Structure 1
Amino acid sequence: MARRAEGSSPTLRGRELGRRLRELRKSAGLTAEQVAEHLACSVAKISYMETGHRPATIRDVRDLSVLYKVKGPEREELMSLAKAAREKGWWQEYGDVPYSKYIGYEAEAASIRNYESLFIPGLLQTDAYALAVIQSAEPAASADEVAQRAQVRAKRQALITRTDPVSLWVIIDEAALRRRVGGPEVMRDQLRRLVATRDMPHVTLQVIPFGVGVHPAMAGPFVILEFADPAVSDVVYVENLAGDIYVEKSAQVGRFARIFERLKEIALDPDDSLALIEHVLKEL
C-alpha cells in the first residue's frame, strides 16, 4: 500500500526516530544509563526519545550520532527525521487535543480496524452525534472547547472521504446502535450515516447482535492501526477512564488482531449488518 498522500505524521516520524536510536545504542553496546550519563540527562529522557513519546531534538541527535559513531548519509537521515518529528500536525492548530498522539498515528495509517462496544466509531460519527458524545465526556469543558474538539473529529473524517482513503473495517456491538445518544433525531441521522457506508467500498461495517451473547471483546473498544511502511510496526490504541494506552509489542498486537478476526466471524456479515441498522432506524 502507498504511503498516505497528505505527508508524514510527526508522531510517526518521532516513533521511527526513536526506534533507530534504540537500535544504534544497542549496536554500540551501550546501556540507557551510559547514554544518559554521556548526555548529562536522565535515563527517563533516553527512554522517552527511544519510544517516541518525546521526540529527540536536533542537538540530541547530533550528540548521539557522535556517541554512536554515525556519519554521512545515515546521520543526515537521522537529522531529517528529528526535524520532521518536531513539525506541527494539523490537529495542533486546535490547541490541546486530548488524544493528539492517536490522531498522529491515525493520520498516516494505511488501514484501521476498530471495534466499538457503546459508541459509533469517531470516523463515522455525524456532527450532532459527536457533539453529544463530547459534551457528555467533558461536562466541565467550555462551549468553545467542545466545539473545537468536534471540529477536530470532523476533520479526521477526511481519511475516509479523500481520493486516497484509508481502509476502514469497523465492528460495532448492537448496543451502540440502540443507545440514544443526543436523542431520537440525532440517532436517526447517525444510523443513516452508517447505512450510507454501503456506497464506500473502502469501509467495511459489521454488527455483533445481542443474540451472540458473550464475546472476546466485552472488556472494551480498541483500534488497530497498520502503516504502509513495513519498517513501522502496527499499534493498538485502547482508551478508557484511566487514560490512553498504546500497545506496540508484536505479541500483544497479535493478540488484539486475533480477537478482531474472531469478532469478524461472530458478527453479522456486512449486508445483514446494514439490514439490522435499517431495522433499528425504523424502530426509531
Structure 2
Amino acid sequence: MPSPYVRRRRLAAEIRKLRESRGLTTDGLARLMYYNRAKISRLENAQVRPDLAEIINMLNALEITGSQYDKFLKLAHEAAQKGWWDKYGVSMGPRQKLYADLEYNAENVRAYNQTAMPAVLQAPEFIDALVTLDRCRGKLDYVPERMAEARMRRQREILRPDGPSYEIVLDECVIHRLAVPPRAMITQLRHMVGVVTAEERISVRVLLHDARIPGGFLAKSSFYLYKFPEPGDSPLAVVDTVTTDLLLTQHGEVARYTEMYDRVRDAALPRQESIAFLERVANRLTDQTGSGT
C-alpha cells in the first residue's frame, strides 16, 4: 500500500492543477460543486482524507473522462486508504502517526537526530523512561501504553522483508545529555546495536561531539528525508521542532536538507566504528553503575 499521506499530497496537486487549467478559482470550483470554499481548500492542501463520492462528483462536473478520470480515481482511492496506524486514533500521538505513514512505503529513510534516539530503534524500557521525561512538561497528548505499542509496531514494519533502508546519523550528545536512568540508556544502546548488527539495511552512524562539519553552517534541528519508489511521489523532508513537524516538499528545500545530511554523514563515524563506539559506551556505563543489563 502506498503512503496515504503522500498520495493525498499528490492528489491535492493534481486537483489544483486541474482547477487552474479550467480557469477556476477555489471559490469558482466550490460554487460549481455546491461545496463551501473551505472543503476545496482542505482537499488542495491535503488536510483531509478524500471522500471518493465527492471526487467522482468533481470529475463529472469538470467533464473529466477516459484515462485522466481513471488516474484521478486511482489516486483518490489510494489517498483514502487507512493504515495500521489509524486504529490507534490520537492515542499514539499525531506526530508518530505521520512518521508511521511516511515510513510504510518509503524506499529509504535518512535522518539526522541531535535530540533523541531513533524512534523505530527504541527498546521498551527506554520508551518508558522517555514517557517519564515527557511528563515533566505537563499533560501528555498521547496514551503512553498505546504510544509504546505503536512504536514497537513501527520497528516491526521497518524490519519487514520489504521494508525501507534506514540510516540514522546520531549526534553523540544524545547519549550523554538525555536524562534517562543509566540502565535505560544501557538497554537502549545494546538494543540498537543488536538491531543494526542483525539487519544490513538498518544503519546508525555516530557523529562525535568534537567532529568538524565542513562546507557550511551546522544543522539547526533534527530532520528526516524520505524517498519513495514511484517516480510520481517526490522526495520530502520532515523537520522536527519543539511544537510540530514541518513537512517540506519543494525541490529546493528538500535539496538543502539532503546536502546537510550528506555533510553530517561524511563527518560521522562509519557504520562498524559506530557500532563499536555504542558498545564501548554501554560497557562503560555498565561498569560505572554496576548494572547487570
Q: Is TM-score (shorter-chain normalized) higher than 0.5?
A: yes
Match of 2:5 in 1: 11
Distance 1:68 1:237, change over 3 A: same
Deviation at residue 240 of structure 1 after TM alignment: 1.8
Letter of the structure 2 residue corresponding to residue 273 of structure 1? S
Map Cα deviations across residues 143-184 of structure 1 (whole Å, 9 max, x no partner): x91010111111001233211221011100001122355311
Distance 1:94 1:217, change over 3 A: farther
1:83 matches 2:84? no
How do 1:28-67 residues align onto structure 2 when only pairs under 5 Å count?
Answer: 28-67=22-61
Contact persistence 2:133–2:180 (CA under 8 A): no
Secondary structure of the residue aligned to 1:75 is helix
Secondary structure of the residue aligned to 1:210 is coil
Cα distance in 2 for partners of 1:261, 1:121 equals 18
1:141 matches 2:140? yes
Cα distance in 1 for partners of 2:240, 2:134 equals 12
Cα distance in 1 for partners of 2:158, 2:50 equals 32
Match of 1:156 among 154, 157, 161: 154
Contact persistence 1:117–1:218 (CA under 8 A): no
Letter of the structure 2 residue corresponding to residue 240 of structure 1? T
Contact persistence 1:212–1:266 (CA under 8 A): yes
1:103 matches 2:100? yes
Cα distance in 1 for partners of 2:38, 2:167 equals 37
Contact persistence 1:17–1:78 (CA under 8 A): yes
Contact persistence 1:134–1:149 (CA under 8 A): no
Cα distance in 2 for partners of 1:80, 1:135 equals 44
Secondary structure of the residue aligned to 1:268 is coil
How do 1:242-253 residues align onto structure 2 when only pairs under 5 Å count?
Answer: 242-253=243-254
Deviation at residue 122 of structure 1 after TM alignment: 0.5
Deviation at residue 104 of structure 1 after TM alignment: 1.3
Match of 2:290 in 1: none
Contact persistence 1:129–1:186 (CA under 8 A): yes
Match of 2:291 in 1: none
Distance 1:39 1:136, change over 3 A: farther
Letter of the structure 2 residue corresponding to residue 17 of structure 1? L
Match of 2:111 among 114, 118, 127: 114
Cα distance in 2 for partners of 1:235, 1:268 equals 25
Match of 1:3 in 2: none
Letter of the structure 1 residue corresponding to residue 239 of structure 2? V
In terms of mean alpha carbon deviation, does 189-198 or 53-62 score higher? 53-62
Deviation at residue 257 of structure 1 after TM alignment: 0.4
Match of 2:288 in 1: none
TM-score (norm 1): 0.88
Match of 2:163 in 1: 165
Match of 1:202 in 2: 201
Distance 1:227 1:105, change over 3 A: same
Cα distance in 2 for partners of 1:78, 1:95 equals 27
How do 1:221-232 residues align onto structure 2 when only pairs under 5 Å count?
Answer: 221-232=222-233
Contact persistence 2:110–2:167 (CA under 8 A): yes
Contact persistence 2:103–2:158 (CA under 8 A): no
Secondary structure of the residue aligned to 2:247 is strand
Deviation at residue 72 of structure 1 after TM alignment: 2.8
Secondary structure of the residue aligned to 1:120 is coil
Deviation at residue 61 of structure 1 after TM alignment: 1.2
Q: RMSD of aligned C-alpha atoms?
A: 2.3
Distance 1:204 1:95, change over 3 A: same
Consecutive unaligned residues in structure 2, runs of 5 or more: 286-293
In terms of mean alpha carbon deviation, does 91-100 or 256-265 score higher? 91-100
Cα distance in 2 for partners of 1:149, 1:280 equals 28
Contact persistence 1:14–1:85 (CA under 8 A): yes
Match of 2:185 among 176, 184, 187: 187
Deviation at residue 218 of structure 1 after TM alignment: 4.0
Contact persistence 2:103–2:164 (CA under 8 A): no
The alignment of Structure 1 onto Structure 2 pairs a total of residues equal to 277
Letter of the structure 1 residue corresponding to residue 50 of structure 2? A
In terms of mean alpha carbon deviation, does 83-92 or 247-256 score higher? 83-92
Distance 1:136 1:113, change over 3 A: same
Identical columns (%):
26
Contact persistence 1:128–1:186 (CA under 8 A): yes
Map Cα deviations across residues 228-266 of structure 1 (whole Å, 9 max, x no partner): 111011121122223221111111011100000111111
Deviation at residue 17 of structure 1 after TM alignment: 1.8
Cα distance in 2 for partners of 1:180, 1:239 equals 17
Cα distance in 2 for partners of 1:176, 1:72 equals 54
